[in-house]
Chain A
Amino acid sequence: MSLTAADVAEIMKVLEGSGFDEVLLEIDGLKLSMRRGGAGAADGSGGVATLSAAAGTNAAPTSLGTGTSPAPNVRGTGSTAQPTSGGQQSAAAAAALAPAADPAEGPSKTTASTDPTVQDVTSPLLGTCYRAPKPGAPPFVEVGTLVNEDTVVAIVEVMKLMNTVRAGVKGTVTEILMRDGALVEYGEALLRIKKAG
């Protein structure tokens, strides 16, 4: 027995209507984990919007956010379909999740690249963004810089509190989208990375 795209959509619906925040399912070597938006959803209201927004995140790899800020960003709350054997089911699951993504709930107005090997690093919160650790210092990254998941790429300041933003992916910086010292919104793309491999 394997899981079809329709099955995954059905499971999402069940999760939506339930009082649970998380589903972990293992069938025939396929492992599926889904979580409602805002892990540990405090308002208990959960629902379609959050779930679909989260679903959209991983279904469209280009809109993946990252960061280590106190505000959980989309990546941390996403649903993931992880195959433990054979990538085919995973692709089917992703396909099932994608149509559920609601444009109204999607990440920011940034025109995300449609190239699946390119990924935007988005701001985990609203604040002032900085490209360097302090005024006058060289920027964390430039176009062409090789980064890995943990490389710090920017700082977003909210009322004197500095939040570091990490690349979240291994690759090469292809574009800097942020302006040093400018206001960035939650979910706004800061820079673009061409994924390695």
Chain B
Amino acid sequence: MAIRRILIANRGEIAARVIRTCRALNIETVLAASEADRDSVPARLADRTVCIGPARSSESYLKVETIVQAALGTRSDAIHPGYGFLSERAALARMCESQDVIFIGPTAEQIEAVGDKLRARAAAEAANVPVVPGGAVESIAAAVLEGRRIGAPLLVKAVGGGGGRGMKLVERLEDLPAAVELASAEAGAAFGDARVYLERYISSGRHVEVQVLGDGQGTVVHLGERDCSVQRRYQKLIEETPAPGLTDALRRALHEAATRFAARLSYRGAGTVEFLVDRQTGAFYFLEMNARIQVEHPVTEAVTGIDLVAEQIAIANGSGLRRELANIARTGCAIECRVNAEDPANDFRPSPGVVREVVWPTGEGIRVDTHIQPGSRVPPFYDSLMAKIVAHGADRAAALARLQHAIGATRLHGVASNLSFHAAALADAEFQAGGVDTGFVARLLAERPLMEVATHG
């Protein structure tokens, strides 16, 4: 079966990104857009746009039946879910399976296996991939016992959570019973799943993740790692590859662990295995697997020359892993900044509105993934990502210099942006040295509490 027409069930820069690859592959695109995105850049780029509902995502982008109906009604062969929205909803993959629409992603079963954090932990252990010491707790008494075994400080996490949601830090063991009770109640309300588990808290950790591609038959290749330690409240802001300062042995161990984990699931498509690397001990632990294309995939594309969306489509098409993927060379270094419509001077408050004027950077080694042009609107209903500015260079210093220049050359008026944050972060001595931990942004902001926003207005 050949995919000739793809319905894109997403919006923003990733919709534009997927359309670009489809064009290169001569595949027609149908964009499923909400009323608020009907005049967006992706809507203009797509061969056809269908309006799936009102602006609010719960009435449009999150409606499984509507998305599948839109694919059937437009005679699309496949659905690309992008990231976020329905990308990791097993229900969409399952409905696609039953309606003979190709879901460009893993199987419903695989989505479920990695979406349940406890099952994912068990799968990691079974694949001989280290997990953070801890485990499920079914009662307060069990939590106290487990807490004593792990030792403080520790984290209470929601089984249905992820990406920092539903997490509580416990500094002293006597606070554990109350924290477990609260976390469980909150998780029940937020995720419809009250189960929680405990994990040792790593005080200085780096977020390092490995990109994998699987053919669904048990063969998995990795495309190197990405360091995403520059985060604010678990939201990644700057990502780079390779992760600076890792020993070759540690780097190889991470790649192998990720490959082992995905192979054990016979994982199909593109996925990312996230690890926490303890900066003090050099030990690493499995965090979770993301069963979708990641926001930060372009840094991997920059150093490998591989088009990850094209590989996703090829795998979904049943072509498996291309032979070239068996021996991927990675050259140089790539760093990405996420340009968000949020105001660093106001606690990074989202700043929706109309972009009056914008000039994105160009130049050697610069790539900008965006859906924003002069006159584009940033609606208040969705995430605030406007663009990803990616710089590639022969080494980290070269990539960093290009990125700094690119950030400085970007002009954006009409909405506030976090460009000033990026300029400050890239110029910071600790970041320039490389290998910062996930506490970096908090330290940076504490030093410079009121960041000037030269780009405002």
When the two chains form their complex, are residues B51 and A159 in contact, meaning their CB atoms are under 8 A apart? no
Q: Which of A36-44, A111-119, A142-150 contacts B (4 or more CB under 8 A)?
A: A36-44
When the two chains form their complex, are residues A185 and B58 in contact, meaning their CB atoms are under 8 A apart? no
**Which residues of chain A are near B47, meaning CB under 8 Å?**
none
When the two chains form their complex, are residues B95 and A159 in contact, meaning their CB atoms are under 8 A apart? yes
**Closest residue to B75 on the A side, CB-wise?**
A183
When the two chains form their complex, are residues B51 and A72 in contact, meaning their CB atoms are under 8 A apart? no
Per the bound structure, the CA–CA distance linking A148 and B101 in Å amounts to 40
**Closest residue to B58 on the A side, CB-wise?**
A42
Q: Is B455 an interface residue when CB atoms closer than 8 A count as contact?
A: no
When the two chains form their complex, are residues B54 and A188 in contact, meaning their CB atoms are under 8 A apart? no
We find that the number of chain B residues with CB closer than 8 angstroms to chain A is 29
When the two chains form their complex, are residues B35 and A105 in contact, meaning their CB atoms are under 8 A apart? yes
Per the bound structure, the CA–CA distance linking A127 and B71 in Å amounts to 10
Q: Is A104 an interface residue when CB atoms closer than 8 A count as contact?
A: yes
When the two chains form their complex, are residues A53 and B35 in contact, meaning their CB atoms are under 8 A apart? yes
Q: Is B377 an interface residue when CB atoms closer than 8 A count as contact?
A: yes
Q: Is A125 an interface residue when CB atoms closer than 8 A count as contact?
A: yes
Q: Which of B61-69, B113-121, B311-319, B397-405 contacts A (4 or more CB under 8 A)?
A: B61-69
Per the bound structure, the CA–CA distance linking A186 and B35 in Å amounts to 8
Per the bound structure, the CA–CA distance linking A53 and B34 in Å amounts to 13
| Interface members, chain A 146-161 (any B CB < 8 Å) | 157-159, 161
Majority-rule SS of A interface residues: loop
Residues 153-192 of A, flagged 1 when their CB comes within 8 A of B and 0 if not, give 0000111010000000000000000000001011110000
**Which residues of chain B are near A159, meaning CB under 8 Å?**
65, 68-69, 95
Q: Shortest beta-carbon distance, B5 to chain A, in Å?
A: 14
Per the bound structure, the CA–CA distance linking A47 and B58 in Å amounts to 17
**Which residues of chain B are near A42, meaning CB under 8 Å?**
56, 58
Per the bound structure, the CA–CA distance linking A37 and B60 in Å amounts to 14
When the two chains form their complex, are residues B55 and A50 in contact, meaning their CB atoms are under 8 A apart? yes
Per the bound structure, the CA–CA distance linking A141 and B323 in Å amounts to 59
Tally the A-B contacts, defined by beta carbons under 8 Å. 85
**Which residues of chain B are near A158, meaning CB under 8 Å?**
65-66, 69
With A126-B66, A126-B70 as contacts: A49 and B95 at CB distance below 8 Å: no
Per the bound structure, the CA–CA distance linking A126 and B70 in Å amounts to 7
Q: Shortest beta-carbon distance, B231 to chain A, in Å?
A: 23
Per the bound structure, the CA–CA distance linking A125 and B50 in Å amounts to 11
When the two chains form their complex, are residues A185 and B52 in contact, meaning their CB atoms are under 8 A apart? yes
Q: Is B36 an interface residue when CB atoms closer than 8 A count as contact?
A: yes
When the two chains form their complex, are residues A126 and B35 in contact, meaning their CB atoms are under 8 A apart? no
**Which residues of chain B are near A73, meaning CB under 8 Å?**
54
Q: Shortest beta-carbon distance, A37 to chain B, in Å?
A: 7
Q: Shortest beta-carbon distance, A122 to chain B, in Å?
A: 11
Q: Is A128 an interface residue when CB atoms closer than 8 A count as contact?
A: yes
**Which residues of chain A are near B377, meaning CB under 8 Å?**
49, 104
Residues 352-377 of B, flagged 1 when their CB comes within 8 A of A and 0 if not, give 10000000000000000000000001
**Which residues of chain A are near B36, meaning CB under 8 Å?**
49, 105
Q: Shortest beta-carbon distance, B49 to chain A, in Å?
A: 9
When the two chains form their complex, are residues A161 and B65 in contact, meaning their CB atoms are under 8 A apart? yes
**Closest residue to B40 on the A side, CB-wise?**
A104
When the two chains form their complex, are residues A43 and B56 in contact, meaning their CB atoms are under 8 A apart? yes
Partner of B56, one of A38, A105, A128, A185: A38
Q: Shortest beta-carbon distance, A120 to chain B, in Å?
A: 15
Per the bound structure, the CA–CA distance linking A187 and B58 in Å amounts to 17
Q: Is B379 an interface residue when CB atoms closer than 8 A count as contact?
A: yes
Q: Is B39 an interface residue when CB atoms closer than 8 A count as contact?
A: yes
**Which residues of chain A are near B57, meaning CB under 8 Å?**
43
Partner of B51, one of A38, A161, A187: A187
With A105-B35, A158-B65, A187-B51 as contacts: A41 and B73 at CB distance below 8 Å: no
Q: Is A108 an interface residue when CB atoms closer than 8 A count as contact?
A: yes
Per the bound structure, the CA–CA distance linking A174 and B368 in Å amounts to 50
Per the bound structure, the CA–CA distance linking A108 and B56 in Å amounts to 16
Per the bound structure, the CA–CA distance linking A47 and B36 in Å amounts to 12
13 intermolecular pairs with C-beta atoms under 8 Å apart: A37-B54, A46-B380, A47-B380, A49-B55, A49-B377, A71-B53, A104-B38, A125-B53, A126-B70, A126-B73, A183-B50, A183-B74, A185-B51
User: Which 9 residue pairs of A and B lie closest in terms of their CB atoms, listed nearest first?
Assistant: A183-B73, A159-B65, A45-B380, A185-B51, A47-B380, A186-B51, A186-B53, A38-B56, A126-B52
Q: A47-B352, A50-B55, A105-B35 are in contact. List 14 more A-B contacts (CB 8 A).
A: A37-B54, A41-B56, A49-B55, A53-B35, A71-B53, A71-B54, A104-B38, A104-B377, A105-B36, A125-B53, A126-B50, A159-B68, A183-B74, A187-B51
Please list the residues of chain B having a beta carbon within 8 angstroms of any beta carbon in chain A: 35-36, 38-39, 50-60, 65-66, 68-70, 73-74, 95, 350, 352, 377, 379-381
